[in-house]
C-alpha cells in the first residue's frame, strides 16, 4: 500500500539526525543516553535505505558549532561514534558499503581519527553503496577551506567555475543530495551541505532521531515521490502547452 506510493527513489539521501536530547528528556534520561539510542538507530536506517536502492547516504552527526556544547557531552559524542565504528565496521564492509568522512579530522581525538581512517581504508574499494559521516562538518568552513586550497595551488580566477569549486569540497566525487531529511522538527539546515543542497528536496519530520524507523523512511520517500523537481525550469504541464 504505502510502498506503491514510492515512485521515485533518490540516489543520494542526506539526514540531519536531530532530536536525541529531546528524546532523552522525554524519558528523563541523560542527553548522552539519547545520543547512544540515536547511534544505535543508524544501522536499521542504513539497511532500510539500502533495501530501497538508495546508493548514497550521508549522515550529519556533529557540526562545527556542536563544539560549543558542554565538554562532557562533546567527549561522550566522540566516544559513542568511536564505539559505533568498532561495532559496525565489519558488517558494513561485508555489505559492500564504502565509508567516507566529511569535515575536519584534525580536531578529533587521536583514537577516533585512527579508527575512522582505518574504516575508510578498509572499505575504499566497496561499490554497493556509500555511507558518508559528517562529523566536525560545517558547510561554511568547507567552502572557506576550498577557497584557501584553490588559492594555495595558484589556480587562476578564470579557471574557477562551479565544477572546480565542487572538486575542492569534501564531497568531491559524490552526487549532490536529492533529498535532505531533518528529524526533530526544525526547519533549517544548521550549516549542513550549504553548497550541495542548492536543489535538494527538503523534508522535515517532528519525529526524534532515535525513533526514526522504516515507517518514517517510507513517509519521506513518498513525499519525495510527489515533488516535481524543476531546477529553475518550467512545470511539465507548462512546457507542453504552446503558450
Residues forming the site for ligand IPE (CB under 6 A): 16-22, 60-63, 66, 77, 184, 186, 188, 190
- Measured CA to CA, the distance from residue 123 to residue 89 in angstroms comes to 9
Cβ proximity to ligand IPE: between 6 and 105 the closer is 105
Burial of 176 (0-12, 13-18, 19+ CB in 10 A): middle
Residue ranges that bind Mg ion, judged by CB under 5 A? 18
Q: How far is the CB of 160 from ligand IPE (least distance, A)?
A: 30
Q: Which of the following is catalytic: 18, 20, 136, 191?
A: 18
Report the nearest approach of ligand IPE to the CB of residue 40 (Å).
13
186 contact choice in Mg ion, ligand IPE, none (CB below 5 to 8 Å, kind-dependent): ligand IPE
Smallest distance from ligand IPE to CB 228, Å: 28
**Residue facing Mg ion at closest CB distance:** 18
Proportion of the chain in helix, strand, coil states, percent, rounded to 5: 50, 15, 35
Nearest to ligand IPE by Cβ — which residue?
21
Instruction: Give whichever of 150 and 180 is closer to ligand IPE, judged by the CB atom.
Output: 180
Q: Which is nearer to ligand IPE, 150 or 171 (CB)?
A: 171
Q: How far is CA 100 from each of CA 42, 48, 59, 187, 222, rounded to the nearest angstrom?
A: 15, 19, 10, 26, 27
Q: Which does 210 bind (CB under 5 to 8 A by kind): ligand IPE, Mg ion, none?
A: none
d(CA 38, CA 22) in angstroms, rounded, equals 11
Residue 18: alpha-carbon gap to chain centroid: 12
Of the pair 74, 160, the CB lying nearest ligand IPE is at 74
Q: What is the arrangement of strands in the sheet containing 12-16, beginning at the earlier edge strand?
A: 97-102, 129-137, 56-63, 12-16, 179-182, 201-204
- CB-count burial class (<10 Å; 0-12, 13-18, 19+) for 92: buried
Q: How far is the CB of 168 from ligand IPE (least distance, A)?
A: 23
The CB-of-20 to ligand IPE minimum distance in angstroms stands at 4
In this structure, the dihedral spanned by the alpha carbons of residues 169, 174, 179 and 183, taken in order and rounded to 10 degrees, is -60
φ and ψ at 27, to 5 degrees?
-105, 10
Task: State yes or no: is 86 an active-site residue.
Answer: no
CB closer to Mg ion out of 27 and 149: 27
Rg (CA), the chain: 19
Q: Reply yes or no on whether 11 is catalytic.
A: no
- Name which of ligand IPE, Mg ion, none residue 62 binds, using a CB cut-off of 5 to 8 Å depending on partner kind: ligand IPE
Which residues are marked as active site? 18, 66
Amino acid at each position: 500500500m504505502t510502498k506503491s506510493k514510492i515512485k521515485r527513489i533518490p540516489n543520494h539521501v542526506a539526514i540531519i539526525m536531530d532530536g536525541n536530547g529531546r528524546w532523552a528528556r522525554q524519558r528523563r534520561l541523560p542527553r548522552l543516553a539519547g545520543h547512544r539510542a540515536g547511534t544505535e538507530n543508524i544501522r536499521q536506517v542504513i539497511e532500510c535505505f539500502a533495501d530501497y536502492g538508495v546508493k548514497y547516504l550521508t549522515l550529519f552527526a556533529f557540526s562545527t558549532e556542536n563544539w560549543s556544547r558542554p565538554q562532557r557531552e562533546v567527549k561522550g559524542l566522540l566516544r559513542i561514534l568511536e564505539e559505533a565504528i568498532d561495532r559496525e565496521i565489519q558488517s558494513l564492509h561485508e555489505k559492500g558499503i564504502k565509508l567516507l568522512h566529511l569535515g575536519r579530522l584534525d580536531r578529533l581525538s587521536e583514537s577516533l581519527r585512527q579508527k575512522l581512517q582505518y574504516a575508510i581504508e578498509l572499505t575504499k574499494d566497496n561499490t554497493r553503496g556509500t555511507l558518508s559521516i559528517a562529523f566536525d562538518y560545517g558547510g561554511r568552513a568547507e567552502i572557506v577551506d576550498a577557497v584557501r586550497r584553490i588559492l594555495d595551488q595558484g589556480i587562476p580566477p578564470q579557471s574557477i567555475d562551479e565544477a572546480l569549486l565542487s572538486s575542492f569540497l569534501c564531497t568531491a566525487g559524490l552526487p549532490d543530495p536529492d533529498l535532505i531529511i531533518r528529524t526533530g522538527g526544525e526547519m533549517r539546515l544548521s550549516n549542513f551541505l550549504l553548497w550541495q543542497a542548492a536543489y535538494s528536496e527538503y523534508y522535515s519530520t517532528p519525529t526524534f532521531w532515535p525513533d526514526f524507523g522504516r515507517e518514517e523512511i517510507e513517509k519521506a520517500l513518498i513525499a519525495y515521490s510527489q515533488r516535481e523537481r524543476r531546477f529553475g525550469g518550467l512545470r511539465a504541464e507548462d512546457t507542453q502547452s504552446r503558450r
